[in-house]
Amino acid sequence: MPPPTDFWRAWQSSPEIRTHAESWLTRNPVDWTDDDSRLSTLIHENPDLALSILFAIMQLTDDPKLLGPLGAGPMEDFLGLHGQTYIDTIHTLALRERRLREVLNHVWQGSMPKSVWHRIEILKQSRFT
C-alpha cells in the first residue's frame, strides 16, 4: 500500500482526482446526483482512488455544510467497506490533519467492524494541537 501522504496529496498531481472532488463539491447537496453515484461506485470498485478523492474534497473546502455530509455519507460508507484495509492510513493522517478529524467527527459506526470503529472513536475523542 502506498504511504499515507500519497493518498492525501494525490489530487495535487492528478487532474482526474481533482475533477471528481470539485464535481462532488459543486453538486446539489439536497438530491442524490450523478456525482454521488460516481463516488459511491468508486468506493465499491476502486478504493484507492475513492480515498484520494475523499481526501481531496476535505482539502478543497472548509465548509462544514459540505464536510459534515462527507463524513456521514461517503467516508462512513468507505470505512464500512474498506476500513480494515485502510484504518492505519486514516489513523496516521488523522493524527496530523485537522480537517480529516473534523470529517471523522460526523462518521457513525454503521456497518464498520468494531475494531475500525474503536480506532475512529479514539480519533474523534482526542484533542490534537
The whole-number mean pLDDT for each consecutive block of 10 residues of the chain, a chain of 129 residues, reads 90 96 90 92 97 97 94 96 96 94 94 95 73
Q: What is the pTM of this model?
A: 0.94
Give the C-alpha separation, 52 to 58, whole Å. 10
Helical H segments across 10-106, by residue range: 15-25, 34-45, 47-60, 64-70, 76-96, 98-104
Write out the residue range of the structural domain in which residue 29 sits. 4-125
**Overall number of domains in the chain:** 1
What pLDDT sits at residue 41? 97
